[in-house]
Each structure stands twice: as C-alpha cells, then as structure tokens.
Amino acid sequence: MDFKDKVVIVTGAGQGIGEGYARGLARLGCAVVVADINEAQGRRVAEAIGKAGGKALFAAVDVSSEASAQALARRAVDAFGGIDYLVNNAALFGSLEFNPLMSVDLGYLNKVIAVNMLGAVVMTRAVAPYLKRGAAIVNQSSTAAWMNIDYYSITKLAVNGITCVLARELGPKGIRVNAIAPGPTDTQALRDKVPQPYLDAMVAQMPLGRLGTPDDLLKALLFLLSDDADWVTGLVMNVDGGQLMRA
C-alpha cells in the first residue's frame, strides 16, 4: 500500500474517526485536506499533522452545499496539484437530535438528510471531475443502517445505496466507490451520545467484546483506497467486531 505523494480529502476530519483517518493517511505520506465545518477543530488537526512532519491543509466545507464542495475541490487541486482519494466521512451524529420520525420537525430532518445522506453525493460530484483512473472514494456508513432505529439509520442505509449507484456510474471511468460501516467506535461523540450502560450492553453482545477504535477503521480504509483493492467496488464493509453479521 503505497500512499506517498497521494492527495486525499477527508471530510469531517476535525475530530473522532475522521481525525483518525486524516492523521493515519498523513503518516503514510498522503497530503491531506482536512475538511470540516468546524474551523477550530479542523485547523487543530491540520496543524498537528504539520508538526508531526506531514502535509496537511485545512479547508472549511459544508458538505450539503454544492458551492462549498466545489470550492473545496478547487482549493485541494490548487494546493496539491490534484486529488487521488475522497473520504466522505462528515455527518451529524454527536450533536444530532434523536426525535421520533412521526414528530421530528421536517426542516430539521431535511438538514440531517442534506448532510448525512446527500453530502456524499454533493462531495463526489464536486471532486469527480479532478479524479483520474485508479482514484478511489470511500463513504462512511454505519451498522445503524440495518437497525431501523431512527432517521440516522435511514440516512446511513441510503449511503449504502448511494455507494453502489456511484460505483456503477464511476466504474467505467476507473474510479472505485466503497463504504465502511463502523460498529460502535470509541470516540467522544459516541460517549457524549450513548449512555455507558447502553454501551456496556452492546459490547457484551459483540463477539469480539470491545468498542472499536479509529485505528481499526483506518486499517479498512487503507485497504479500500489502495491498489490492493483495485477490483473491489460497490462494497459496504462492516468493521464492527461482529456486531452485525450479514450473510
């Protein structure tokens, strides 16, 4: 897996799993565009990568906005000369309001859909014109996609479908599109959102008996981006400690 001098955009890279992706890819030689709507967090990650000897650029982005996504793509190309990979990680989760589907305000629901579901489409459309054969895109799904719990689940199930449709559309151009579906991963967002007794109950039912880490997910990401996966597209890969097994 040779990532030296590759250019990657990671959305939602200001914290949690996205930060782990950005730092890990930078350690392996990628020039990383740390894309996040939170300027303070995004700059923190980009500066940390730079201090560690890596190449990184912070770029503010609202993944629900076509204009913002297009400006981000242009900035990446201007800074690093091209784009090799796109990681569509950004989503509303830690700050998400979980309300019943029958009563949630439709304006709020449309906001969640615009970010968590359509953000991957908006970003891919903005970046695709700059991608060459051999490029790869990885979307962030979730095991919540199959749990039918709330509208977060719905958006992640839609990401799976979007991944497969984009894989079909972009395949003839030599661009691969896959997704990672993390199980419960030990991030601040998870701990802020999910009570400890519920986490303990989830872990107790998982075959591998522990929360995931951003590094667990990074290993899967590296495979899906690399040439080792050059005949893999349209795949939604569970990385979840066996939480949800799909035959």
Residues carrying an active site annotation:
152
The residue type at 14: G
Interacting residues of 89 by C-beta distance below 8 A, sequence separation 6+: 10, 11, 12, 13, 17, 18, 21, 140
Distance CA 107, CA 94 (A): 19
- Residue 176 gets the label, from left (phi > 0), alpha (psi -120 to 50) or beta, of beta
What values do phi and psi take at 73, rounded to 5?
-60, -45
Q: What single-letter DSSP state applies at residue 12?
A: T
Q: What φ, ψ does residue 190 adopt, rounded to 5°?
A: -65, -45
Phi, psi of 227 (to 5 degrees): -70, -15
**Residue 14: CA atoms inside 13 Å, Cβ hemisphere, count?**
20
